[in-house]
Each structure stands twice: as C-alpha cells, then as structure tokens.
Structure 1
C-alpha cells in the first residue's frame, strides 16, 4: 500500500532550519563551558569556611562539570584524570584531580533536578511516561544462549511539553508499574515550577487510567488529559472526576475530537525526550551497582535539562 494512502499527507516541516542548526551547534559549547574557573578561589573559600578536617581542593561546579563529561562522553574515571591533566597544560593554575577524588565527589553530588523555571509558560502542560534503560550491553545472542537475564531499569518522568525540561524524575527497577510513580512525580513538579508557573493539564496514556490518579489531579485542581478505556463506566466507581472525563469524551463523539481539545497529541513530546536522552547518553548504564546505576541516570537527566536550557 502506498505511504500516502496509509498515513495521509506527510507532516509539513515548518521549522526554521537556521535556528534549529544553531541550537545543535551550541550543544557542543557545553563540553568546554569553563565559567567556574573565574570563581575558583571564591567558591573554595566559601566551601571551606568553618569546615573541619581536610579542606576541599575542587569547587562543586567543577565536579558537576566533570560529572557531565562523564555521562556525555561516556568517559571512565581514569581517562577523566588524563583529560583534566591535558586540559591543565592549556590553563595556568588549573589543579589536576585524580580519578579517585573525581569518583568520590561525583558520587556525593546533589542529584536533585536542575530546572530553569524562567523558560516555562504561564500554564504548564506536562506529559508523563516511563522508559526502560538497559543495565548491560550483552547482545541478544548471549542472553539467549546462556539464559542470562539481568532485566532493566525504569526511568519515570514528567516533562514540560513546551521546553522539554524534565520536571519530575523517579528511577526504579522493572517491577514497578507506571501508575505507582504518578503521584510522587506529580508532587515534584510544583517544586520546580514555582507559584508563577502552575500546572494546567497532565497528559498520560492508558497506563495511568486509575481512579486514585484522577482523584489526585482533582485535589490539585489540574485538568486530566489521560486516555481512558473505550468501555469505561460513565458513572462514578470511585472517582467522580474520572466519570466526568469519560462522559466528556463520549459527548465529543469519541477519541479523535477529545484528543484535539485536550492536546493529547503533545504527549509524544515525552517519547521524543526519552529518544533524545538515549541517543545522546546511550541506551544503557556503565555502573554495576544498583545505587550507581540510579545515580548515573539522574546525572544524565540533569545534564539533559542543562542542555535544553542552553539551546532554548
């Protein structure tokens, strides 16, 4: 069957390619963003003020930058020491950090989400979903031959569909269902948006079609853009708000018009986010311990948020 008959007319590409190309080029500037060098001494003085024991030798922004290098370039810690050693030959007074120090300091970094609320719209529309992250690079043939199954990690997230910033993040193993992480993610979003950027609507697929999730949205006065089942009850079975949403969908004549009014089609933005994170940082993790894997994923998402703020 010809592609036109199946999918209709192709989506018109109206993007400004000069702006789009410039945003991609600016991403490369992030690798050598050495703004912290000008404040090196001041930062260390503040960190060591009143500190007991051995003083810090490297400021926190430098460690955060090295963590980004670690996840962006997928560089092992010993290679990172060589990277800094060579960089020091071009920058007078730059102190070389050994790989042990880098490992310990990076593991102790504050991994809470880095969000730029100034870029958010007045009424924020967020999308919720999850994706799997591989914990090993072993091929399918080896897994099939030796019956070795290590599972995967699940990355649960809520994003702003306008700026693509991740506003809520939870990392679990594969056994945790998506709906169980919905409320914890929703609780994180106002902390990063602030009072000036209230959440207007939440978009989610059928995995979030649960009474308690609709009730949580109603309590927070947030509109639901969650896809309900085709045969969902129109009377209250534990959530009057869900029943109201189902009646509204039926009143509109079904899914197509409901999706247009609720902007449900924007939910694809979170799928694009997951794809971008995996293409930039890889589909798996290099860490071997459970805690290390979770930390590595949080570092990647934080670096992605910083990247989105740079190209906004």
Structure 2
C-alpha cells in the first residue's frame, strides 16, 4: 500500500493511537445475522488505522483480510510512518510480544493495557525481561488500573474509537470495491 503523506514536518514527533474495524465485503447485514444466524458466505476485511493524537489525522492505513490480527498489522503500519513516533496507544489486542518487539526496535513507548491475566515476562534464568509492559504491570499493582490509565494517558486511545466512528459515518461499514 502506498504510504500517506505525513502531516508532521521536521523534528516534530507523533503520539499515535491505533485500532481496527471490520468492513463487510460480501454477506448479509447485522440484522439478518441476529435474526437468522450467520451464513457461510460472509466475507470481511479489516481496516487498521494509526491516528495522530494531536491532529486527529490518519497517519497510516492497512487493509487486510480478516485472518490478520491487530498485532500482525502493527509493523506494516509503523513502516508507513516516516516521522518520529514517541508513543503508541492501543487496546489489549495489541498486548503481544511481536508488538512490543516492533515498538522496542523503534524506541517507541507503548501505552497498551496488559490483559487481565497478564504476568511479568521473564527469561530462561527467571530474570524480568526489560519490556515496558512489565513496568506497566508493576504500576497497575501500585496505582490500580484507574491510576495507571491516568498516569499513562491511556484514555487518549479513545481517539482511535472516535476515528473509527468518523470513518464508518463517512464511508459506511461495507467495502464498495476490492481494488
């Protein structure tokens, strides 16, 4: 996919939030699914968007089939952004090792809530691995989840939800073309 022109110029930095949504390619609507159940002929694509917190501009877009997870789409999204990124916010679907590795490669601070059953990642010698999510787990233990949300500014991730609402309000929930 062709990279979007970046809205950030020069030495400015980005604080991005990401999310994804399903777009229907083929199949019945949600009402029919609720009434009669899903048919075998439903086809979906996933739209992954990276949004700049400061401007609300879409900085990266990735359209995938529905078998690609949110975590698998992170690296292609990051590759599209040429500006310096300081923070990356996402929901717990992004709480995976491959996401943390991709962010660590680029020295990006993740703002991703650990899953409810998360434990500290350790290596073979039982030493805590140096991942920010381990620090997040410790902070949640100390501050509680609400305190961590405020301290980490995780609440800014709701801007990604707003972006998805704007997208679907403008373009709808169905893809009009495959090319």
TM-score of the two chains, using structure 2 as the length reference: 0.82
Identify which of 152, 155, 176 aligns with 2:44.
Answer: 152
Give the Cα–Cα distance (whole angstroms) in 1 for the partners of residues 111 and 158 of structure 2. Answer: 13
| CA distance 1:166–1:145, change in 2 (3 Å) | closer
Task: Tell me whether 1:262 sits opposite 2:152 in the alignment.
Answer: yes
| CA distance 1:121–1:206, change in 2 (3 Å) | farther
* Unaligned runs of at least 5 residues, structure 1: 1-109, 293-312
Give the Cα–Cα distance (whole angstroms) in 2 for the partners of residues 183 and 162 of structure 1. Answer: 22
Higher helix share: 1
Higher strand share: 2
Give the Cα–Cα distance (whole angstroms) in 1 for the partners of residues 167 and 16 of structure 2. Answer: 18
Rg comparison, structure with higher value = 1
List, as ranges, runs of 4+ consecutive aligned residues in structure 1 with deviation greater than 6 Å: none
Give the Cα–Cα distance (whole angstroms) in 2 for the partners of residues 145 and 179 of structure 1. Answer: 29
Give the Cα–Cα distance (whole angstroms) in 1 for the partners of residues 71 and 170 of structure 2. Answer: 27
| CA distance 1:274–1:235, change in 2 (3 Å) | closer
| CA distance 1:230–1:285, change in 2 (3 Å) | closer
Question: Which structure has more RCO (C-alpha within 8 Å, separation ≥ 6)?
Answer: 2
TM-score of the two chains, using structure 1 as the length reference: 0.49
How many residue pairs are counted as aligned between the two chains? 172
- Kindly indicate whether the alpha-carbon contact (under 8 Å) linking 2:89 and 2:111 is maintained by their aligned counterparts in 1: yes
Within-5 A mapping of 1:69-108: none
Q: Which residue of structure 1 lines up, in the alignment, with residue 97 of structure 2?
A: 211
Give the Cα–Cα distance (whole angstroms) in 2 for the partners of residues 145 and 162 of structure 1. Answer: 42
After superposition, the CA RMSD in angstroms is 2.7
